[in-house]
Amino acid sequence: MTTLLGHRSLVQEAAALRAGTDDPVDAARRTCDRIDAVDPQVQAFVPEAGRRARLLESARRAAADAGGAGGRPALYGVPVGVKDIVHADGLPTRAGSALPPEVLAGRQAGVVDRLCAAGALIAGKTVTAEFAVTAPGPTRNPHHPAHTPGGSSSGSAAAVAAGMVPLAIGTQTVGSMIRPAAYCGVVGFKPSYGRIPVAGVIPNAASFDTLGCYATDVAGVALAASVLADGWRERGPAEGEARPVLGVPAGPYLERAGDEALAAFAAQRALLRAAGYVVHEVPVMADFAQIVAQLFTMNRYEVARAHADWFARFGDLYRPETTAAIREGHTIGDTAYEAARERREVFRERLAADRAAAGIDLWIAPSATGPAPADLTTTGSSIMCLPWSNAGLPSVSLPAGRAANGLPLGLQLVGPLGADEELLAAAAGIERVLNAAPGAMPPGAVPTA
């Protein structure tokens, strides 16, 4: 096993760069070397002929402009991958599609502005499923190239998992952050809906689209969130804080997970109970099939309208999976859409009431239905993320052991709306329990090229 930048996590790498014990130019060079060595197999990054020259020049400017160690920003000199539906100046946005990039061009996204203000270097665009829907990109799972890395933030998750960058930006509409994190064995964080502004991001379904990030540990995503999210509240050390009460969403939702995921989830619950956590089973979402239908009514309606102009002009360039989603959206009228919106509000209120009545702080569930499928024509199922995305809740996926075939599994933690800081603080404690378990995947471990 090996990791990027001498086994340093994002937090360690950022600290070394801020302190001046490392140099942005050296970090950029190592990043390019790792991408050159690994990405021909993983294909996490959108190809860029002049990447090394561009990134080294950015690093030299950062080093020249840097003040003393005490005044350097949080992500000074850190190379970051950015999902290719997020506009970044100087890098064309292709969105995993065959449409002319000039048609898709737009103003640099606010999240990239925040990365740059925090001192980060944009290592490049990471591969996405076409328009962040379901048509897979070329990315392979770094743990086994015959398996999917998930979608639609496939490139971002794989880039971190393969040690090419210590931080990457993705988006989630239904399951596009959490599922790739689980499949690739990294930490993925999807904040509360709207916590990171999505201006400058090509929409999938605007009522759900949420920006998030990947790192190798919880501390890394917390560092990134602190500079990317609106109104982030810094917290002191979590040691000594009361453990959150955990809720298992029993019923038809949980039954959608596969046997291996459920067996691992049972073992994870036992570990947490042995570590002193209170875990309650809470029957919820008896009408889960209707919840699924409601979400996809809204999703497909919004996808179709987001692509109305482009699809009318370039419909023959869209891939079949995206075309099918758009055409399904064309069949959904305004009345059905508004009814679905109303049902979602009822669901959100009911889920919050169920949590409060059961006295739980966080929901826990498998991050995915099982390990990454051995099928590169699919990005896997998003069903284990669906209700939480529907409710706009913050969620995080933690690496949680391995399947029988050696591929990673994930544990998903879901907090109340707006309680992102509390979720990550609790996740750090649960991460320690999972990492101490026999057979746990070492934090930041990635396949050797």
Number of domains in the chain: 1
Handedness of CA 291, 211, 257, 250 (dihedral sign): negative
Contact by Cβ (8 Å): 225, 423: no
| pLDDT confidence bin for 446, thresholds 50/70/90 | low
Tell me the pTM: 0.96
The pLDDT assigned to 192 comes to 98
Asked if residue 152 has a cis previous peptide bond (ω within 30° of 0), the answer is yes
CB-CB neighbours of 113 under 10 Å = 16
Whole-Å CA distances, 437 to 108, 270, 302, 400: 43, 11, 43, 9
Residue 316: band (very low, low, confident or very high) from pLDDT cuts 50, 70, 90: very high
Chain center to CA of 104: 23
Q: Could you tell me which of 93, 73, 74, 71 has the C-alpha nearest to residue 82?
A: 93
**Residue 65 maps to which CATH number?**
3.90.1300.10
Residue 395 located in a structural domain:
no
pLDDT category at 444 given cuts 50, 70, 90 is: low
Q: pLDDT at residue 402 above 90? A: yes
Angle (CA) 375-367-195 rounded to 5° is 115
Residue 147 within any structural domain of the chain: yes
**Whole-number Å distance between alpha carbons of 279 and 292:** 26
pLDDT score at 406 = 96
Distance CA 239, CA 255 (A): 35
Q: If you average pLDDT over residues 86-111, what whole number do you get? A: 98
Q: Of 80-84, 150-154, 197-201, 241-245, give the lowest mean pLDDT range.
A: 241-245
Q: Which domain holds residue 38?
A: 10-245
Q: Is residue 195 part of a domain?
A: yes
Residue 444 in any domain: the answer is no
- φ, ψ (nearest 5 deg) of residue 56: -65, -35
**278 belongs to a structural domain:** no
283, part of any domain: no
pLDDT attached to residue 443: 57
Q: Is residue 43 part of a domain?
A: yes
Asked if pLDDT for residue 417 goes beyond 80, the answer is yes
